Amino acid sequence: MITYLGLSLIVVAWIFQFFVSLKNKKKLSLKFVATYSIGVLLLVIDSFNSNMSTLATINLISLIASLSVLILILKK
């Protein structure tokens, strides 16, 4: 269940970013990165709970990358 919620948030984030990109092609939306990060966090939690450590580690790397982008956006 957590996986479905996490993946759904990631899809919503990408759809939102698509429409933002139609207006401003060079800007990542704060809402996109935050929603994406929450979705990936749920995937990490679910992977660890399911004892899928390799998948959890890959998702954790993705989470760290997206949070790094979020921090850069917040600093501007």
Q: Provide the percentage of residues in the chain whose pLDDT is more than 70.
A: 97
Q: Which domain holds residue 26?
A: 2-75
Q: How far is residue 20's CA from residue 29's CA, in Å, rounded to a whole number?
A: 7
> 27 pLDDT exceeds 80?
no
Per-residue confidence (pLDDT) for residue 34, from 0 to 100: 92
The radius of gyration computed from the CA coordinates of the chain, to the nearest angstrom, equals: 13
- Over residues 19-31, the mean pLDDT reads 78
Residue 24 predicted with pLDDT over 80: no
Q: Could you report the per-residue pLDDT of 34-66, keeping only the tens digit for each?
A: 999 999 999 999 999 999 999 999 999 999 989
21 neighbors 6 (Cβ within 8 angstroms): no
Overall number of domains in the chain: 1
The 3-state DSSP class for residue 4 equals helix
Residue 34 burial (10 A CB sphere; 0-12, 13-18, 19+): middle
Residue 25 pLDDT = 67
**Burial class of 60 by CB neighbour count within 10 A (0 to 12, 13 to 18, 19+):** middle
